[in-house]
A and B are shown apart, each in its own frame.
Chain A
Amino acid sequence: MTFTLNDEQRMLKDAARDFFREQAPVTRLRKQRDEKKNGRDPDLWREMAAMGWAGVIIPEEFGGVGLGYVALGAVLEEGGRTLVASPLHSSALAGASALLLAGTDAQKQEWLPKIAAGEVTATIAIDEGAHHAPTKSKMKFDGGKLTGEKKYVADGHIADLIIVAGADALYLVKSDAAGLTRRELITADSRGAADLKFEGVAAQKMNGGADVIDAILDRARIGLAAEMVGQASEAFEITSEYLKTRRQFGQVIGGFQALQHRAAKLFTDLELTRSCVLAALDALDRNSNNIAEYASLAKARASETVHLASNEMVQLHGGIGMTDEHDAGLYLKRARVAEALYGGASFHRDRYASLLGF
């Protein structure tokens, strides 16, 4: 197990931190929202792709930089800190993982270089009901045509390529294919998503069955957990700074023991969760045989921690935390969306219990 970054990963993380702080602070998300862009920001994505981030896990033979999941996790975490809305997770992580794990040679040759360059963005379409339930798909594939529905597909409104999961197979669909209807969703986190309807849409079957779907989902879960640790860390740090400056009863409120203890508990929780996420990313790069366990551990704990951090952010800021002007609400809303995607805390606790055999 490795928890510390090597020089290459560390440089990537530092570069990501600087970039997001300077080029995409939370005000950028706010601007996208106010301009009703619903997560669309092609200029930002072009710049991110130019940094090589669209192809972090894609091997060099397919035009990527092949640095692995720990490296991509570091970028996702830094993006999480400033709530960056971009296809980094949906395309560079989930979409690229799907192609790497389930793509045919031809599919890899065709799409991976474009994804790595950021010219094409991909996403995975999983759920069909209100809750994450990958095994309950009713998607039908007949004569090369796909029929069915997908709900709340992350970046489904902007992706060029949609990797659709059935109950035990994966399909590749171009977003401009005939018979595909996308209903764009205006979402609480201001990033947008889409409900998709497939009515006899031309689709290419990919390799692998339910196991591969699970393996792809685990990558999506772990990457999202990394992003959530970034969100929680930033929410915590902003709050802890506020405790040092806000005065009430003639003193800074960080001097009150009741608040000190809440901050210390939150910090402890965050550190424990960070270890889980780092271990999970490392497990992916080592191709460990218990990735599923690590994925559920990381996603469940990150879900709990990001809620705790964002709820405390609102509460400890008091009234200002309830205003739209303050960023606390943006962290709170994103936390809720991030938990729901690819299985929330309950889903993963249940899965973890099953994996542990009870």
Chain B
Amino acid sequence: MTKDLETFRTETRAWLEENCPPSMRTPMTGEDDAVWGGKNYEFKNPEAKLWLERMGAKGWTAPTWPAEYGGGGLSADENRVLQSELKRINARQPLFSFGIWMLGPVLLEYANEEQKKEHLPKIVRGEIRWCQGYSEPGAGSDLAGLQTKCEDKGDHWLINGQKVWTSYANYADWCFCLVRTDTSVKHEGISFVLIDMTTKGVETRPIKLISGSSPFCETFFTDVKVPKHQMVGRLNGGWEIAKRLLMYERTNISGFGSNTRVDVVDLAKKHVGLEGGALEDRDLRARIAAHKMTERAYALSVQRATEEAKAGGNVSHMASMFKVAGATLNQDRCELMVEAAGNRALGWAGEGFSADDLATTRGWLRSKGNSIEGGTTEINLNVVAKRVLGLRDTQ
């Protein structure tokens, strides 16, 4: 390591030592501990607020974004040092944010200077919470079939239509949204606009899922007036931005929603028991072993892709591949957890089941969405087949 990086490590370590509150160095106990920020966010823990403020002020919630837009301005090497130092003290992620994972990277690439200056710093500091207005009731996997209408009314855009699966739209301050600006063409008639969720005519309604929770919403737009300057990129040029954003989404989503607090092996040891050092249920043992191997293979592949990207290799195709593999992996893990926990994972609510038991049940049901959200497994397999393997549709 160069001398500069060593200095950076020393300084970072000292800063974290001083600024990361003690309760932010403990593992999260559940999804409720995730800090999402935004105008109306209520912090359950004052130290979580402090941690976000301090990290946000440093720009370290988005360490590699340029400092002029509120980011940390760190090089890739410095960021690796920062991440390893955060890991060393088991620091919690200060902010969970679609703005950082998905919107920010495309704004950096496609937005004009004014838009970048307006939105990026607020994302970094967790002041504005974003949701994604992509899917519609009639346009899920066939996303480009979307119909939400956006008309040019001279001094503003007028938006009418409905979105679905808008994660946390009921808590979001703003929405990045795909709209139809030309009905005569499909992909080339889509634009990318930013919408303030408090605008008149925006309405959200949570959707209850099989897991009992409702992170998703339906979002309705009725005669919503959006200022002209809130379109990103050119008119009818939204599809390219949409695809790029999906790539970021797929890269981030593969590990998302996986509550890895309880290890499947520990769970099996607890509920199945050991006989001569091996799980008594030998078939389950073999299947868990195969799963643990895939988990390791996945982790090693992510490491490899990172290394290849650093060496200048083209790893863009990896996003779809990782999305498919990550979803399958998480679903397999959840199935095995339920199986290992036996009747302890069959509860729904009330007494008689521990919080961990209930989390196992709910996590299993939630995981079914992993192969649907962010592009279904089938759509991502299409992407791999076409873009990586060069297999072309013939119709």
Mark A residues whose CB is within 8 Å of B: 1-4, 240, 243-244, 251-252, 254-255, 257, 259-261, 263-265, 267-268, 271-273, 275-276, 278-279, 297, 300-301, 346, 349-350, 352-354, 356-358
Q: Which residues of B contact A4 (CB under 8 A)?
A: 307-308, 311
Q: Which of A268, A273, A300, A346 contacts B324 (CB 8 A)?
A: A268
Q: Which residue of A lies closest to B382 (CB)?
A: A260
- C-alpha spacing A177/B361, complex, angstroms: 65
Contacts A244-B390, A251-B394 given; does A264 touch B325 at CB 8 Å: no
Contacting pair B296 A276 (CB below 8 A)? yes
- What B residues does A259 contact at CB under 8 A? 391
- Asked if B388 lies at the interface with its beta carbon under 8 angstroms from chain A, I say yes
Judge whether B301 and A272 touch: CB under 8 Å.
yes
Contact indicator per residue, chain B 288-304, by CB within 8 Å of chain A (1) or not (0): 11101110111011011
CB-CB under 8 A from A267, the residues of chain B are 321, 384, 388-389
C-alpha spacing A215/B5, complex, angstroms:
37
User: How near does chain B come to A158, taking the closest CB pair, in angstroms?
Assistant: 34
Among A252, A301, A353, point to the contact of B285 (Cβ < 8 A). Answer: A353
Interface bits B58-74 vs A (CB < 8 Å: 1, else 0)? 00000000000000000
Q: Give bound CA distance, A355 to B77, whole Å.
A: 34
Choice from A265, A272, A278 contacting B294 with Cβ under 8 Å: A272
Q: Once the chains are docked, how many angstroms separate the CA of A297 from the CA of B395?
A: 42
B391 with A263: CB separation less than 8 A: yes
- Using A272-B297, A272-B298 as known contacts, say yes or no to A240 and B389 having CB atoms under 8 A apart: yes
Instruction: Judge if B262 is at the interface, Cβ distance under 8 Å.
Output: no
Q: Which residues of B contact A278 (CB under 8 A)?
A: 300, 304
Of B268, B300, B303, the residue contacting A358 (CB under 8 A) is B268
Within 8 A of A (CB), among B319-378: 321, 324-325, 378
List 16 interface pairs A-B (beta carbons < 8 Å), by A numbering: A1-B303, A3-B303, A3-B308, A240-B391, A260-B382, A261-B381, A264-B389, A267-B389, A268-B324, A268-B384, A275-B303, A278-B304, A300-B293, A349-B286, A357-B265, A358-B278
Q: For B292, give its contact among A243, A252, A261, A356 (CB under 8 Å).
A: A356
Q: In the complex, which residues of chain B have a beta carbon less than 8 angstroms from the beta carbon of A271?
A: 301, 321
**Known A261-B381, A264-B384, A275-B304: A354·B297 in contact at CB below 8 Å:** no
Q: Cβ of A358 and Cβ of B301 under 8 Å apart?
A: no
Total residues of chain B contacting the partner, CB 8 A: 42
Contacts of B390 in A (CB 8 A): 244
Choose from B278, B297, B304, B394 the contact partner of A353 (Cβ within 8 Å).
Answer: B278
Tell me, in angstroms, the Cα distance from A276 to B295 when the chains sit together. 11
Contact indicator per residue, chain B 152-193, by CB within 8 Å of chain A (1) or not (0): 000000000000000000000000000000000000000000
Q: Would you call B392 an interface residue if the criterion is a C-beta within 8 Å of the partner chain's C-beta atoms? A: yes
Which residue among A1, A255, A260, A356 has the maximum number of chain B CB atoms within 10 Å of its CB? A260
- B304 closest partner in A (C-beta): A3
Interface of B is mostly: helix
Task: Report yes or no: A353 in contact with B289, Cβ–Cβ below 8 A.
Answer: yes
B residues near A349, Cβ cutoff 8 Å: 286, 289-290, 293
Q: For chain B, residues 217 to 233, give those with C-beta under 8 angstroms from any C-beta of chain A.
A: none
The reply to whether A352 and B381 form a contact with Cβ atoms under 8 Å apart is no
B210 proximal to A (CB < 8 A): no
Would B297 and A254 count as touching, CB distance under 8 A?
Answer: no
Q: How far is the CA of A3 from the CA of B309 in the complex (A)?
A: 12
Contact B382 A354, beta carbon cutoff 8 Å: no
Most buried by B among A240, A244, A349, A350: A349
The answer to whether A301 and B293 have CB atoms under 8 Å apart is yes
Nearest A residue to B377, CB-CB: A261
| Whole-angstrom CA separation of A272 from B299 in the bound complex | 9
Question: Is the pair B278, A268 in contact by a Cβ cutoff of 8 Å?
Answer: no
Q: Is the CB of A358 within 8 A of B288?
A: yes
A268 to B385, alpha carbons, bound, how many Å?
Answer: 10
Q: Are B381 and A3 in contact (CB under 8 A)?
A: no
B279 at the interface (CB under 8 A from A): yes
Residue of B nearest to A257 (CB): B382
- CB of B119 closer than 8 Å to a CB of A: no
Task: Other than A301-B297, A349-B286, A349-B293, give 6 A-B pairs with Cβ distance below 8 A.
Answer: A1-B307, A243-B391, A264-B388, A268-B384, A272-B297, A297-B293
B76 within 8 Å of A (CB atoms): no
Name A261's closest neighbour in chain B (CB-CB).
B381
